[in-house]
C-alpha cells in the first residue's frame, strides 16, 4: 500500500474527523449554551440532534450530486459548509441561529459520510479496500477524541484568574476551533485527484488512466484500469435492478446481517452517550473536571478498537 494512496484516503476521510469533532464538541458546549440561551429540554435536544436530522437528507442527495458534479467537487463544497457552520455556531446570537448553523454542519457530514467511503473504494485496489475505507471510521473516532480533549482544556482554563475565557464565551471558542480542521480539509482536497471511476463514467478515459497510474504505478495501474473497464461493461449489460432483487434467497441473509449489525450499533445508545457525555458523567457526581476527562477516556477506547478493526478487517 503506497504512501500516496494512504494520503489521499486520509485527506478525503477528514470529513469523518469533522463529523466526530462536531458531534463530540457539542457535549461540552451545551453545559454553557443551555443557560446562555435559557433553553428548554426540547430546544436543547434539537440543538444536539438537528445535524443528524439534516444529515439524513444530505445522504439521500449527495450520491446523485456527486455523479453529476464529481466526488471531489462535492467534497470541496462539504468542506466549505463545515467552515461556515463553525463560524456561524461560534457567533450564534440566538437559539435559532445556533441550530441553523448546526443544520448546515449536518448537511456537510451527511454528504461526507456517504462520499468519502465511495471515493476511497473507487481509488483503492481490492486487497487494500477494507483498510483504506476504514480510515473513515478512524478519523471519526479521532474527531471525537480531539473534541473531548479540546473541551477538557477549554474547561480547565475557564477559571476566574483567566479573563480571556468565561462561562459566557468558552462555548463559543469550543465551537470556533472546528474552523481549523475545516479549513485544512478544504485546502488538502485540492491536492487529491478526481475519482477515476467517475472520470470513466464521464468518458474522460485518458484522465482516469493517468490518475490510476499516478496512484498505483504503471503495472498495477493498468490492472486497475482493466478491472474498472470490465466492471463498467458488466453494469451496462446487466438487467435493471429491481427492489425485489434484494429479497432473493442469495442476498437475504447478507442484507439481514448488515441491517441487524447497523441497528444493534445504534440501539445500544452509544451516540446518545457521546452527544451528552459531559452531562451524563456530571450527573454521577464526579465533578465538572472529571466529567470532561471521562469523555476523553471514552473516546480513547473507540480509537483503540478502531485500530483493532483496521488490523482485522481484510
Residue with cell 445522504: 59
- pLDDT score of 238: 65
pLDDT in tens, 296-310: 898 899 899 988 888
- pLDDT score of 6: 86
pLDDT in tens, 265-291: 888 888 788 888 888 888 888 887 888
pLDDT in tens, 143-186: 999 999 998 899 888 888 888 888 889 999 999 999 999 999 99
Q: Report the alpha-carbon distance of residue 293 to residue 298 in Å, rounded.
A: 9
Residues of the chain with CATH 1.20.1250.20: 3-192+247-313
193-238: in CATH 1.10.286:
yes
Measured over the CA atoms of residue 167, residue 169, residue 170 and residue 172, the dihedral's sign is positive
- pLDDT score of 137: 85
Q: Which pTM value belongs to this model?
A: 0.84
Which three cell numbers, joined as nine digits, stand for 98?
445556533
- pLDDT score of 239: 66
CATH architecture of 3-192+247-313: Up-down Bundle (1.20)
pLDDT in tens, 33-89: 999 999 999 999 999 999 989 999 999 999 999 999 999 999 999 999 999 999 999
Nearest Cα neighbor of 306 from 100, 139, 180, 169 is: 139
* Residue 115 scores a pLDDT above 90: yes
Alpha carbon 236 to chain centroid distance? 32
- pLDDT score of 124: 82
Residues of the chain with CATH 1.10.286: 193-238
Can you tell me the mean pLDDT for 192-208?
88
Range with the poorest average pLDDT among 83-92, 95-104, 229-238, 263-272: 229-238
Amino acid at each position: 500500500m503506497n504512501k500516496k494512496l494512504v494520503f489521499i484516503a486520509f485527506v478525503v476521510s477528514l470529513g469523518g474527523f469533522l463529523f466526530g469533532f462536531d458531534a463530540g464538541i457539542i457535549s461540552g458546549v451545551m453545559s454553557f449554551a443551555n443557560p446562555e440561551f435559557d433553553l428548554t429540554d426540547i430546544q436543547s435536544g434539537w440543538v444536539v440532534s438537528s445535524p443528524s436530522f439534516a444529515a439524513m437528507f444530505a445522504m439521500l442527495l449527495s450520491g446523485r450530486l456527486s455523479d453529476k458534479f464529481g466526488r471531489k467537487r462535492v467534497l470541496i463544497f462539504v468542506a466549505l459548509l463545515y467552515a461556515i457552520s463553525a463560524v456561524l455556531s461560534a457567533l450564534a446570537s440566538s437559539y435559532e441561529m445556533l441550530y441553523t448553523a448546526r443544520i448546515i454542519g449536518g448537511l456537510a457530514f451527511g454528504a461526507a459520510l456517504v462520499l468519502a467511503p465511495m471515493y476511497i473504494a473507487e481509488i483503492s485496489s481490492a486487497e487494500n479496500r477494507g483498510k483504506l475505507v476504514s480510515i473513515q471510521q478512524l478519523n471519526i473516532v479521532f474527531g471525537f477524541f480531539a473534541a473531548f480533549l479540546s473541551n477538557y482544556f477549554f474547561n480547565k482554563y475557564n477559571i476566574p484568574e483567566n479573563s480571556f475565557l468565561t462561562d459566557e464565551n468558552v462555548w463559543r471558542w469550543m465551537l470556533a476551533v472546528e474552523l481549523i480542521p475545516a479549513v485544512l480539509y478544504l485546502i488538502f482536497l485540492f491536492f487529491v485527484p478526481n475519482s477515476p471511476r467517475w472520470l470513466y463514467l464521464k468518458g474522460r478515459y485518458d484522465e482516469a488512466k493517468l490518475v490510476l497510474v499516478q496512484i498505483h504505478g504503471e503495472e498495477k495501474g493498468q490492472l486497475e484500469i482493466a478491472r474498472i473497464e470490465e466492471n463498467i461493461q458488466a453494469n451496462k449489460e446487466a438487467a435493471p435492478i429491481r427492489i425485489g432483487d434484494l429479497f432473493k434467497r442469495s442476498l437475504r441473509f447478507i442484507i439481514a446481517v448488515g441491517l441487524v449489525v447497523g441497528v444493534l450499533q445504534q440501539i445500544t445508545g452509544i451516540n446518545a452517550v457521546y452527544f451528552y457525555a459531559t452531562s451524563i458523567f456530571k450527573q454521577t457526581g464526579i465533578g465538572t473536571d472529571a466529567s470532561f476527562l471521562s469523555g476523553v477516556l471514552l473516546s480513547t477506547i473507540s480509537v483503540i478498537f478502531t485500530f483493532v478493526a483496521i488490523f482485522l478487517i481484510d
